[in-house]
């Protein structure tokens, strides 16, 4: 069978986008939690959560360190900010690593999807808390996306994600190399498509989006290449728009699989995960293209946020209108 075209793949992504119906109630179209945000990094979780919100999820949460939370609350009143995370130096005498993890894990019952990593940093307590969250998310079958310092967990504790088919890793070329080294995969052997599939297999079937001039997407069995035009400015933080977009599409996937509206139901869990990954990549690349067209070399990560909905309309299209 010939490789599907970009239009064909996006046509399938379109199938799993919920229509806007009066019968839906608050929360059905996605409850997303972004876990990250430390004293030094407050922008990343905001960009991720806002991309999620702009793509249409009903409720966007940020679970972060108190110092980050106070700042993120000033960025937008649309996000729900929970200052439950702790950096080692800020752990109160009445708190413990266990009590922090328990409070964060307590949020999971309210969420459909989690993103781990934006603005997380490498602090041991922050990393350890996320390790516990990953283990609990896996038990509950909650899909999760790992990016930035969240990928450090996959690199240093690969057993956390090994064999998890509800997990998406989003490494850039440097992070991809580190993950490959952790799994003994030689990045100098084979073309990028094969390498992405090889690393996904080494992790037991996780989905990997290797970001770059083209985005290579694979779970080891199915491999897609997303090569829509992007912008030429490589400002930091553009990957946060990707993680937020992925999270909303994974929430839409859940709505599709739960059949909260009438549809053919001809797409299964594995295929819809790959489609969410491809859709997130396509939307982010289009965001980057639109923002670069407007801002040129002055482009910053926040400029992508304002183009998320337009990028969605351009790539996937709204229900009730033609693709």
- Residue 230, annotated as binding a ligand: yes
| Residue 269 CA to its chain's centroid (Å) | 17
- Residue 73, annotated as binding a ligand: no
- Residue 238, annotated as binding a ligand: yes
- Residue 308, annotated as binding a ligand: no
- Residue 3, annotated as binding a ligand: no
The 3-state DSSP class for residue 223 equals: strand
227, 214 contact by CB (below 8 A): yes
- Residue 239, annotated as binding a ligand: yes
- Residue 157, annotated as binding a ligand: no
- Residue 190, annotated as binding a ligand: no
Backbone Cα Rg of the chain: 18
- Residue 240, annotated as binding a ligand: yes
- Residue 30, annotated as binding a ligand: no
The total number of residues shown for the chain amounts to: 323
- Residue 174, annotated as binding a ligand: yes
The CB density around residue 3, as the number of other CB atoms within 10 Å, is 9
The CB density around residue 46, as the number of other CB atoms within 10 Å, is 33
- Residue 211, annotated as binding a ligand: yes
- Residue 233, annotated as binding a ligand: yes
- Residue 237, annotated as binding a ligand: yes
Report d(CA 48, CA 162) in Å as an integer: 25
- Residue 62, annotated as binding a ligand: no
- Residue 177, annotated as binding a ligand: yes
Report d(CA 170, CA 196) in Å as an integer: 11
Report d(CA 197, CA 208) in Å as an integer: 8
Binding residues for ATP: 211-215, 230-239
Cite the annotated binding site by residue number: 119, 172-178, 211-215, 230-240
Annotated binding site for (6S)-NADPHX: 119, 172-178, 240
């Amino acid at each position: 069978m010939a490789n599907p075209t970009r239009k064909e793949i996006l046509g399938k992504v379109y199938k799993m986008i919920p229509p806007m119906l009066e019968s839906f109630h608050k929360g059905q179209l996605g409850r997303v939690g972004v876990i990250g945000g430390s004293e030094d990094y407050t922008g990343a979780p905001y960009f991720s959560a806002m991309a999620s919100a702009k793509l249409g999820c009903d409720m966007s949460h940020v679970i972060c360190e108190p110092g980050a939370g106070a700042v993120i609350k000033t960025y937008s009143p649309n996000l729900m900010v929970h200052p439950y995370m702790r950096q080692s130096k800020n752990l109160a005498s009445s708190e413990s690593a266990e009590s922090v993890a328990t409070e964060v894990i307590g949020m999971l019952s309210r969420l459909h999807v989690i993103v781990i990593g934006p603005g997380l940093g490498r602090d041991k307590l922050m990393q350890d808390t996320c390790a516990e969250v990953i283990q609990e998310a896996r038990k509950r079958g909650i899909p999760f996306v790992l990016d930035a310092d969240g990928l450090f967990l996959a690199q240093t504790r690969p057993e956390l994600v090994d064999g998890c088919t509800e997990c998406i890793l989003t490494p850039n070329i440097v992070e991809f190399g580190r993950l490959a080294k952790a799994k003994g995969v030689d990045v100098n052997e084979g073309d990028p498509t094969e390498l992405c599939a090889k690393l996904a297999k080494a992790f037991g079937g996780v989905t990997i989006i290797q970001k770059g001039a083209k985005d290579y997407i694979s779970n080891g069995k199915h491999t897609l290449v997303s090569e829509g035009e992007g912008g030429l400015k490589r400002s930091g933080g553009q990957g946060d728009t990707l993680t937020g977009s992925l999270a909303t599409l994974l929430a839409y996937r859940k709505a599709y699989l739960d059949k909260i509206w009438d549809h053919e139901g001809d797409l299964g869990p594995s295929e819809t995960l790959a489609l969410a990954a491809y859709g997130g990549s396509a939307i982010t690349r289009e965001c980057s293209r639109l923002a670069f067209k407007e801002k040129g070399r002055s482009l910053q990560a926040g400029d992508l946020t304002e183009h998320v909905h337009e990028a969605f309309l351009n790539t996937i299209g709204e229900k009730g209108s033609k693709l």
